[in-house]
Amino acid sequence: MTQSIALLGATGSIGRSTLDVVRQHPERFVVHSMAGATRVEPLVEAAREFRPRIVAIATESKKDELAAALRAAGVDAEVRAGAAAVAELAGDPEVDSVVQAVVGAAGVEPTFRAARAGKRLLLANKESVVCGGALLMDEVKRAGATLLPLDSEHNAIFQCLVGASDEARAAARIVLTASGGPFRGRRDLSGITPEMAVKHPKWSMGRKISVDSATLMNKGLEVIEASWLFGFPADRIDVVVHPQSIIHSMVTFADGATIAQLGAPDMRTPIAYALGWPERMDGGVKPLDFTTLGTLTFEAPDRETFPLLDLAFKALAAGGGETIVLNAANEIAVEAFLDRRIGFTTMFALVSEMLAKIDAPKPASVEEILELDRTTRALTREAVAALERSGKEG
């Protein structure tokens, strides 16, 4: 039976990897719809090959440009634009599976739409879980949706927990692995430029997530995500730096056994696993050759030099809307850093300031999540502007 897919975030790294896996299995998958954020050309190129019925772009002002480019490419697809239009694709009754790879808090609404519609939800947007927390997991359960994580670490944990009883899970510990980013072992973080921060040593990722990896915020967000996805409290989640990025994460059980998922640092592996689940299928990734693999090393993360990891643990433990504040403040801080408006370590200070400044009660609805997100973004932007005016942005 052919699986009908809505691909949200089609032009990003996850989207491109998903299309590569789909390309290898035309008998199993059809792309019903796809959406991008701002870039028309790569969206049209993908549509030219996969011929979706609907093509959407989140930037409303790009609708006419997208429509004209699709016509010129000979693609007969319905064109939609705007964030609401992208979210609607996630709940389309003609879609079986939603690959949710929208970046940032913009992905929260599409994720909830897919969950409410009871979809098979392949989720790469960690902010949906970081911000949605219990609300999202309740929606998944209520609607009978299937949530399959695409992040390599959470996909690894999912695989390691297959077959574990509730009793075994209750006594287990999650071990999230981190590459350490481009500045692993560096204590002096002065003079770091956006170009330096986006050069990840192992993974090919977008600019925002690459900066998050460089600050260890990405791992902090993953700790929060793992807690909600798998029902593990913060005190049963550990982080270890593993520079080779071969072990994608592990689970340690009460009997002393640790189960790890290993593989090349290629996102097609978790994507193929989620698309084919519960079957395994070829994703086009070569298996590891253990005779040439070399040494695998592990070390503790430097929480003093990279304080955002500890801030993430504290936000999770607080139990309210602090994780929403953490995520929103970080997004604006990263944006400002990439625009060269603030320095690298100023991102740490901004996130810490917002967590201390903003009252963050536990949200009771998606609307409350988005309102707290908007408030935090506005206050963080004001803080960035104030730093620029004072000349302390570096």
Residue 188 burial (CB count, 10 A): 8
Annotated binding site for NADPH: 11-14, 37, 125, 127, 206
Structure-token pair, residue 360: 């963050």
Strands (E), the chain: 3-8, 29-36, 54-57, 78-81, 97-100, 120-123, 146-149, 173-178, 237-241, 247-252, 258-262
Q: What pTM, to 2 d.p., does this model score?
A: 0.91
pLDDT by position in tens, the chain (length 394): 899 999 999 999 899 999 999 999 999 999 999 999 999 999 999 999 999 999 999 999 999 999 999 999 999 999 999 999 999 999 999 999 999 999 877 899 999 999 999 999 999 998 899 999 999 999 999 999 999 999 999 999 999 999 999 999 999 999 999 999 999 999 999 999 999 999 877 766 778 889 999 999 999 999 999 999 999 999 999 999 999 999 999 999 999 999 999 999 899 999 999 999 999 999 999 999 999 999 999 999 999 999 999 999 999 999 999 999 999 999 999 999 999 999 999 999 999 999 999 999 999 999 999 999 999 999 999 999 999 988 765 4
Residue carrying structure tokens 């204590």: 187
342 DSSP assignment? S
Q: Are 91 and 116 in contact (CB under 8 A)?
A: yes
Spans of all domains in the chain: 3-150, 151-317, 319-394
Annotated binding-site positions: 11-14, 37, 125-127, 151-153, 179, 200, 206, 213, 218-219, 222
CATH code that applies to domain 3-150: 3.40.50.720
Binding-site residues for Mn(2+)? 151, 153, 222
> β-strand 97-100 against 78-81: which pairing, if any?
unpaired
Residues 6+ apart with CB under 8 A from 370: 105, 108, 109
Q: Rounded distance, CA 132 to CA 111, Å?
A: 9
AA letter at 296: L
CATH number, domain 319-394: 1.10.1740.10
Annotated binding-site residues for 1-deoxy-D-xylulose 5-phosphate read 126, 152-153, 179, 200, 213, 218-219, 222
